[in-house]
Every structure is written in structure tokens, then in C-alpha cells.
Amino acid sequence: MFLYKVFIWLYPLIARFISPLNEKAKQWIIGQNEVWDQINQLAPSIKQPIIWIHCASYGEFEQGLPIIEKLKSEYPHHQIWLTFFSPSGYIHRKNDPAADFITYLPFDSLKNANQFLNLVQPKLIVFIKYEFWYNYLQEAKQKNIPTLLVSAIFRPNQIFFQFYGGFYKKMLSLFTSILVQDKSSYDLIKTTLPNLSVEITGDTRFDRVVSTANTVIKFDWIQKMNADKIIIAGSTWEEDHTILAKACLSLKKINWIIVPHHVDPSSINQCKTHFPSAITLTELQNSHQRFTSPTIIIVDQIGILRNLYQYAFISYVGGGFGKEGVHNVLEPAAFGKPVIWGENDKKYIEAVGLRKAVGGFKINSANELIVLVQALVANEDKYQEAGAHARKYITQNAGATAKTMLFIKDHQLLT
């Protein structure tokens, strides 16, 4: 408890200190300064019982969106209040029509938690995947508001399962129920907290990517590229750019579309140093040029990657050569195309699962990337088989949203 209180005290101070040099911290400080004005302005517009959904960031929103959409359709006499912790979620989704009210989450304190719950008065609270805020959970428990942690995943090295993690075990116990992705997570929780309600429902990201693949958005600018095959590299970092740049030099009859994880001007300029012949998407859209030979496009816009994967012959997902680990391999796999990523995937069960299903491939170097791409280009049967395995892996693991909704109904959490 002491360490948590220290964290709650230090976090805003550190964010404020680094905000002049860190845009994300700056936006978070601005958001926290304005959040109560926003909440107080929105609260009088509440006309129906509230379901409060909380997501840490953009990725958790994507994971929670199938649940949000189902709650809206199956409980039309309720409204959705959506909160974010991170600016990357709030800024990009603050006007999303999926929710009735969208704000930052006021930083976790006893005062904030009590004030927020008294104003919003949610009938059900749903946290997506990773979020654990003690004061909000404690206040919800005292007010008899059911709380769900959904699409959760746990690993043995997390603090909840250490001998010194008593306070964090208590935090988990405050949830009414925890819905986990896999049996390993289930066993960890039940061994630690045998009396806690836990159920395996799966990962709602599978449902999200199935929905995306079935309702794709087309991009006219793709027609400006020549007819050679396209590799789409999504959510890439500096380490990925080093690998991809070497591959581009060897795989000359391939078009490349590179979508960096960060698309601010500084990050785009840094990416372009690896690909001096590349053109940005904005430049392409503002030009009448049509390419007759393979080219490299760097996407300097947000929000299009998951639909862009439909055009890939092969997809490459970034993050696997850095400490952050591989990003979302499910989005490209849903289109039935082989997926490639870097070596750091051990913590990501969806990447490991896709690899075991032979729909995805882990590489350790640029040379391995080159050899793998050449093999898939040369062997049509191997290529088609890998794509079919990728799509099958997605469809076999879909259904977590339906299981989550069934759990809510069976336990009468919104009666």
C-alpha cells in the first residue's frame, strides 16, 4: 500500500517535470487539468443508467470495442461512459460514436474515485485487460457496484504472484469477477485467490479483427503503386527500420508500405533516413504520380493500418526487435496473409499461437527476413498454406465477446 501511495504521489510530479520534453506527458497533464471540467459538463446529460468502460490506451480500446458495441445493442436503455488513462487513447478516440461520454480517467485518489462514482453512478464497471486502480476498485466495492476485468492475461512474474505482492493481490480481489484469456491466467488467479470469481472467456481482439476483415475500407491511392507484390510493415520502430532497410535492398521486386508506430514529424523524418527513396503517404496523395516500378511508401497518418493490411502479400509486424515486444499480429492474420515479426514474442500468446499454427513466422535478422520472403514468393503452395493457417487461427479463437456478454447476463450484472 505504501509503494502504491508513493507511485500515486510521484507519477503526476514526474509527468509534469518531463512534459516540456515529452509530448505524451504534456498531453496527459493537460488532460488531467481539464478532466473535472469535462466530467462536470457531461454529467448533467446522463439520461439513462451508465455502464463505465475503462481502457488504458488505444490498444485496449480496440480490444474493448466489441464489448462496447454489444453492450450498446443488447442494453439500449443504458449509456456508455468511456475513460482513458493515456493520451494516445483519448486524443484519437475522444469523439468515437461507440460511447455516449468520453473523458480521461481522473488520476487514482480516494477523493477522485469517490467524486467520479458519485457523479457518474455506474451500474457496471468494466476494465479492459491491464488496468488496476485501487481507490476506484475500493470505492466501487463499498458502493456495491459490480466490477469486471475482461480479456485479462497474467504471467507468473507479475507482482500479484510474488511473496511481496500482498497489496496487489488485495487489489485483484476487489474485482467482482475476472474474465481471462487463457487457462494459464486462470490457474494463476485461482491458485492465488481461490475464492475469486474467474472464468476463461478468451481474447476479444480476435472478434475485433474478424469484424475489421469483414468490413474493410478501400484506399484509392493503392492504385498508384505498380503491380508487384506488397509487404506492409506495421507498428514499426527504429530497430525494425534497420532490418527492413536491409531487406529492401535485396528484395527489389517488392513494394513496401511502412507504417511507423509513431507518425509525428520527427519520427517520420527519422524513418526516412533508413529509406532515402521513400515517399510519404501524404506526398503520394497530393501527387498525380503513378509508379511503374516498386516503391517504398511511409505512412504518416494514423488510424488506417488495420484496414491497410488487406493489400499485403505478406505482413510484417514491428516491435519484436525492441524491449516493447511485438505488436498486434492478429490484424494482418485476419486477412488470411502470412505474418512475420521479430524475436521478442514470448510474452505475447497470440503471436506464439499464430507461430505454432504456422500462420506466422518469427525472424532473428534481416537475412532471415529476406530468405523467408523469397521462399514464400517462390512457393505458392507454402504461401497459400500459411495464409490459410493464419485465417483459421483467428476464426478458431473468436467468440470472447459472446462469452463475456453471456457471463454478464448469467450473473445478472445489469438487471
String of DSSP letters for 346-405:
TT-HHHHHHHHTTSEEE-SSHHHHHHHHHHHHH-HHHHHHHHHHHHHHHHHH--HHHHHH
CA distance 19 to 291: 42
The pLDDT score that the predictor gives to residue 108 is: 94
Residue 63: band (very low, low, confident or very high) from pLDDT cuts 50, 70, 90 = very high
The pLDDT score that the predictor gives to residue 121 is: 97
* Candidate CATH numbers 3.30.565.10, 3.40.50.300, 3.40.50.2000, 3.90.1150.10; the one for domain 214-397: 3.40.50.2000
The pLDDT score that the predictor gives to residue 191 is: 95
Place of cell 483459421: 392
The pLDDT score that the predictor gives to residue 38 is: 97
The pLDDT score that the predictor gives to residue 97 is: 93
Residue 23: band (very low, low, confident or very high) from pLDDT cuts 50, 70, 90 = confident
Query: In this predicted model, what pLDDT tens digit does every residue of 239-271 receive, in sequence order?
Result: 999 999 999 999 989 999 999 999 989 999 999
Instruction: Tell me the pTM.
Output: 0.90
The pLDDT score that the predictor gives to residue 370 is: 98
The pLDDT score that the predictor gives to residue 130 is: 83
User: Is the confidence at residue 399, as pLDDT, over 80?
Assistant: yes
Query: In this predicted model, what pLDDT tens digit does every residue of 313-368 receive, in sequence order?
Result: 999 999 999 988 999 999 999 999 999 999 999 989 999 999 999 999 999 999 99
Q: Where are the domains of the chain?
A: 2-204+399-410, 214-397
CA distance 84 to 10: 20
Residue 380: band (very low, low, confident or very high) from pLDDT cuts 50, 70, 90 = very high
The pLDDT score that the predictor gives to residue 137 is: 97
CA 221 to chain centre: 26
Residue 48: band (very low, low, confident or very high) from pLDDT cuts 50, 70, 90 = very high
Q: Is 194 exposed, middle or buried (0-12, 13-18, 19+ CB in 10 A)?
A: exposed
Residue 299: band (very low, low, confident or very high) from pLDDT cuts 50, 70, 90 = very high
User: Is the confidence at residue 272, as pLDDT, over 80?
Assistant: yes
Residue 131: band (very low, low, confident or very high) from pLDDT cuts 50, 70, 90 = confident
Which H/E stretch holds residue 148?
A: strand 147-152
Cell of 373: 520472403
Cell of 226: 505498380
Mean pLDDT computed over 121-140: 95
User: Is the confidence at residue 3, as pLDDT, over 90?
Assistant: no
Which H/E stretch holds residue 309?
A: none
The pLDDT score that the predictor gives to residue 324 is: 81
Residue 289: band (very low, low, confident or very high) from pLDDT cuts 50, 70, 90 = confident
Residue type, 335: F
Which H/E stretch holds residue 99?
A: none
Cell of 91: 486524443
User: Is the confidence at residue 185, as pLDDT, over 80?
Assistant: yes
The pLDDT score that the predictor gives to residue 15 is: 92
The pLDDT score that the predictor gives to residue 193 is: 95
Q: Is 332 helix (H, G, I), strand (E, B) or coil?
A: helix
The pLDDT score that the predictor gives to residue 115 is: 97
Mean pLDDT computed over 134-152: 97
User: Is the confidence at residue 18, as pLDDT, over 80?
Assistant: yes
Residue 41: band (very low, low, confident or very high) from pLDDT cuts 50, 70, 90 = very high
C-alpha dist (Å) from residue 106 to 31, 36, 93, 141, 273: 9, 7, 17, 18, 40
In terms of average pLDDT, the best of 90-94, 213-217, 362-366 is 362-366
Question: How many alpha carbons fall within 13 Å on the CB side of residue 199?
Answer: 16
CA distance 171 to 161: 12
Residue 383: band (very low, low, confident or very high) from pLDDT cuts 50, 70, 90 = very high
Least reliable range by pLDDT among 18-22, 71-75, 226-230, 348-352: 18-22
User: Is the confidence at residue 206, as pLDDT, over 90?
Assistant: yes
What does DSSP assign to residue 161?
G
Thinking of the domain 2-204+399-410, which architecture would CATH place it in? 3-Layer(aba) Sandwich (3.40)
User: Is the confidence at residue 1, as pLDDT, over 80?
Assistant: no
Q: Is 28 helix (H, G, I), strand (E, B) or coil?
A: helix
CA distance 302 to 317: 16
Mean pLDDT of all residues belonging to the chain: 95
CA distance 279 to 51: 45
Domains 2-204+399-410 and 214-397 alike in fold: yes
